[in-house]
Amino acid sequence: MLPSTQSALIMLCAGVAVPVLAALNAGLGVRIGSPVSAAVVLFVVALASALLAYAVLGGSFAGLAQAPKGLMLGGCLVAFYVLSITWIAPTFGVGNAVFFVLLGQLISAAIIDHFGLFGAQVTPLSLTRAAGIAAMGGGVFLTQLAGR
């Protein structure tokens, strides 16, 4: 398998995991009566999983002290996502919640790529690319209409 094919498959699995994570954690939040507590449980399990991966695959924190501190905000964004999806999905629906997450991802990814933000590779937002993103957004929207 080519590295790009492997990368695509891994990211496809990550995409599959997003609504599963939403449904599981939303269900846990309802079951234990606290979306915030469910998020804490999720992060404890996530930390244990990350530590296991670190132990098995190795890694290094050597450059951490020199890394721009703003790059650490990714952890806050993960917490925001988990808390919001855990809180909102039980009453708004996992599909509806993930629809808006996907729409936000499409928009922010296009902006990040266009300007090369956070060290990303610059990929200009051409009219063709914008149309493709709009088509993807429309497709996601249609999946939600079909379920009504």
Cβ–Cβ under 8 Å, residues 21 and 85: yes
The residue written with tokens 């964004």 in the block is 77
Task: Enumerate the domain spans of the chain.
Answer: 1-89, 93-148
- For 44-71, write each residue's pLDDT tens digit: 999 999 999 999 999 999 999 999 999 9
In this prediction, residue 1 carries a pLDDT of 58
Q: What is the pTM of this model?
A: 0.81
For 143, phi then psi, to 5°, come to -65, -30
Does residue 38 contact residue 25 with C-beta atoms inside 8 Å?
Answer: yes
**Mean pLDDT per 10-residue segment, the chain (148 residues):** 81 90 94 96 97 95 93 94 94 86 89 93 93 86 72
User: What's the pLDDT at 97?
Assistant: 87
Could you tell me which residues come within 8 angstroms of residue 79 by beta carbon, excluding any fewer than 6 positions away?
39, 43
Reading the block at residue 7, the tokens are 């990368």
Q: What distance in Å separates the CA atoms of residue 64 and residue 103, rounded to the nearest whole number?
A: 32
Query: What does the DSSP 8-state code read for residue 120?
Result: P
Q: What is the pLDDT of residue 122?
A: 96
**Percent of the chain predicted with pLDDT > 90:** 64
Burial label, 40 (beta-carbon count in 10 A; 0-12, 13-18, 19+)? middle
Mean pLDDT rounded to a whole number for the chain: 90
**Residue from 86, 103, 89, 88 nearest 137 by CA:** 103
Q: What is the pLDDT of residue 63?
A: 94
Q: Which of 100, 56, 50, 98 is nearest to 74 (CA)?
A: 50
